[in-house]
Amino acid sequence: MPAPSQIPEPVVQAIRSHAGSDSETTFGLQTDVRSDGSFGEEWLVLTPAGLYTVLREPDGASVRRHFPLHSIREVTAETMVGGGVLQITGPEGGVTQLMRYSGTQAKAFGEAARAVEIFVRSGRLEVEEELLHGQVCEQCGRRLPEGTKVCPNCLDKGKVLRRLMDYTRPYRRRTALMIAVLLVITGTQMLPPFIGGAIIDDVLSAGSQPADQRRMVLAAMVLILTFAHITRHALSIFKGRLAGWLGNHLTYDIRGEVFRSLQRLSLSFFDRNQTGAVMSRVNQDTSHLHGFLVHVLPFGVQSVLLILAIGAVLFVINWKITLFILVPVPFLIWSARMVWRRLHTYYSRYFERRSRLNATIGDSLWGIRVVKAFGQEGREIERFGMKNLDFREAGVVLEQKWALYMPVISFVTMSGTMIVWYTGGIDVMGGRMSVGELVWYMGNLAMFYGPVQMLTGITNYLSNALTSAERVFEILDTPSEVSEDDNAVDLGQLNGKIELRNVTFGYTRLKPVLDNISLTIDPGETVGLVGRSGSGKTTITNLICRFYDAQGGRVLLDGHDVGKIKKQCLGRNIAVVLQETFLFDGTIGENIAYGRPDVTPMEMMRAAKAANAHDFIVGFPHGYDSRVGERGGRLSLGERQRVAIARAILNDPRILILDEATSSVDTETERQIQGALDKLTKNRTTIIIAHRLSTLRNANRIIVVHEGRLAETGTHDELMSHRGNYYWLIKAQGPLEE
């Protein structure tokens, strides 16, 4: 559930217009089905003043219903065909249908109903962490941005910056060289004002000296000035090239570490985070860090060096005037810190909205065939328009805040120049300072205030970069919920015995999918798992593969706890063929050999023949070198399945899991796939999840899973004679296949 700062601004404004400008939103949840049954965006928002439903449209939002908390006795999420309804029971027992939602949001609205009831009774907000994306910061109590556990207001920015600088350690020499170059550039920048003042005092104003002598001095000073400019520009070119090398290498290291971290994270992380939002961490956030490291950081270091050097010179020239011009500096530092803190919050919101927009774009493009098939281009445009509008509003607010802060800072900065003109002019008229010294002073002052003003401006880029850095570090610091034990062992080739002992598991802890299940599968046995959708069949196989860890009980392979077995050992011994086969955008051969990149062409062809895939592969112009397209889109569903089976055969697993591997293909394709599966299951422990009876014909046992428990077990004939859950599942398919 999005936190208040993540609820679209039009929705917040609609509630404030209804309840008052100081109304506070506690949490919000978006439904994808409007009250009239059409697909659209409607929001459920809880506030201390009551429960609201708000209709969101492209041109704004409006409150549809409002229920004060005292008028709510009970909130329930009722399951219906294809979705559900959120209902409110009033003090007199009357029931009101509040909102509709699709089946994909049933879990979220069930949690929302429970949370609202608790809030009504006690005023406490208790929501499952996976659903409460907008969590609360333990230090300041503010809501956290969606998709992150780091509070922008409490972030130790110095710590983030130091951690970012830790990546320079492998490049110490080049970093030291960069600092040396910056020091020399700073020295060359300080020469022009000094030489300019000397020209005025020693050449232009020294009328008593011979003209020839003055011309020689002038020529020498101009040559020194020219050399200083040439040196500075040459070193600036070198600095830019060096900064580019360092910045790109550092970004390369960070991007690689982020991707490696993503590979080690468990599936639960990806269950909670949209793919588009995660991709933006790898691509866009590291790109922002690249810009900061290449352009902003070297300039910032150079500005600091210039401020320190020029500040010392100004004190030497006239310490009294320097004290006057330093008066605005404390205010500048204070205002810069305030601007930094505020802009960081707005940048966090800006990036979060951008991640949402990216996720929406990815969703639409990955499902473009479905969009085209149902003619829903207009709906996708509207959905994108709303996310684009949210992104635009976040950008407008950010730029408006920036436009407000900077002119004020600039005015304060330049006020020191007016002080110098007045006090310096009086000193020149009083003979306490020469015109050349005043020019020298003014030149240094311009270079002093320039970096000071720029450093306050760098807060823009610094906030941007540190927000990106914290998002990157958050992935790096996210622990895998399925981590490998330090004492994990490689068992080599398993025999294939599987045991589940009193296993309990739920994707959210409040709602277990499996409830105290115990199961034993012997080596080489073929077992069918059947049951209604959501009964827990796939969850059992997920625990065997150790995609997730059981929350209670133990899962064992050959008598060893899966948590004590190395993941590489599990990967070698377990193969999964899913209903929705995923192929990488490469060649057919590369996909077959994915689990064994060092395989020979003959081994690859033998696996393809065993999977009944060789004939259609050699029918392509490029054979095994034919590209499959994105997600295997150039192959038919049956062809993709047989390539996946060949991939599993080549891996030679001891445990094979077939999850609805033939449920979405025609009869002829199913016959070919079934023939391949018959070869694949020989002498292996096989678990088949299927609804079609034909797929389960050769199973030694059939296990019926019902509501997270093992309801029945036996052969097909035994279960049919028992006339229990299995019997009625088969009867629901129509006439039995013989």
pLDDT value of residue 25: 64
Q: Over 60: is that where the pLDDT of 129 sits?
A: no
Lowest-pLDDT range of 296-300, 645-649, 733-737: 733-737
Q: CA 477 to CA 457: how far, in whole Å?
A: 30
737 secondary structure, DSSP code: P
Name the fold adopted by 157-477: ABC transporter transmembrane region fold (1.20.1560)
| Residue whose token pair is 């970069």 | 465
Q: Over 70: is that where the pLDDT of 336 sits?
A: no
Of residues 322 and 589, more confidently modeled: 589
- Of the candidates 62, 138, 148, the one whose C-alpha atom is nearest the C-alpha of residue 477 is 148
User: Per mean pLDDT, which of 6-15, 88-97, 602-611 is the most reliable?
Assistant: 602-611
pLDDT value of residue 456: 62
Domain ranges of the chain: 4-122, 157-477, 498-731
pLDDT value of residue 3: 43
List helix spans (H) across 367-376: 368-373
Q: Does domain 4-122 have CATH number 1.10.357.140?
A: no
Chain mean pLDDT for the chain: 77
Mean pLDDT of 101-105: 66
Mean pLDDT of 289-315: 78
Q: CA 730 to CA 147: how far, in whole Å?
A: 43
Q: CA 339 to CA 438: how far, in whole Å?
A: 34
pLDDT bracket for residue 144 (50, 70, 90): low
Q: Does domain 498-731 have CATH number 3.40.50.1950?
A: no
Q: Over 60: is that where the pLDDT of 131 sits?
A: no
pLDDT for 228-247, tens place per residue?
A: 888 888 988 898 888 888 88
pLDDT bracket for residue 2 (50, 70, 90): very low
Mean pLDDT of 692-705: 77
pLDDT value of residue 104: 58
Lowest-pLDDT range of 11-20, 326-335, 360-369, 468-477: 326-335
Q: Over 60: is that where the pLDDT of 153 sits?
A: no
* Whether 640 contacts 629, CB under 8 Å: no
pLDDT value of residue 374: 65
Map 106-145 to HEC letters: HHHHHHHHHHHHHHHHHCCCCCCCCCCCCCECCCCCCECC
627 secondary structure, DSSP code: B
pLDDT value of residue 585: 81
Q: Over 80: is that where the pLDDT of 21 sits?
A: no
Mean pLDDT of 722-727: 81
Instruction: Return the percentage of the chain with pLDDT > 90, whole number.
Output: 0
pLDDT value of residue 481: 75
Q: CA 46 to CA 69: how far, in whole Å?
A: 9
Mean pLDDT of 201-223: 72
pLDDT bracket for residue 1 (50, 70, 90): very low
Q: CA 44 to CA 65: how far, in whole Å?
A: 10
pLDDT for 355-410, tens place per residue?
A: 778 777 877 776 776 777 767 778 788 888 888 888 888 888 878 777 777 677 66
pLDDT value of residue 148: 56
* Whether 124 contacts 118, CB under 8 Å: yes
Q: CA 80 to CA 102: how far, in whole Å?
A: 9
Q: Over 80: is that where the pLDDT of 182 sits?
A: yes
Mean pLDDT of 299-306: 79
Q: Over 80: is that where the pLDDT of 24 sits?
A: no
Would the pTM count as exceeding 0.85? Answer: no
pLDDT bracket for residue 340 (50, 70, 90): low
Tokens representing 579 are: 């209903």
pLDDT value of residue 198: 72
Output the CA–CA distances (angstroms, integers) from residue 337 to 162, 176, 288, 463, 590, in the order listed: 18, 28, 21, 11, 53
Instruction: Return the percentage of the chain with pLDDT > 70, whole number.
Output: 76
pLDDT for 424-457, tens place per residue?
A: 777 777 777 777 777 777 776 767 766 766 666 6
Q: Over 80: is that where the pLDDT of 191 sits?
A: no
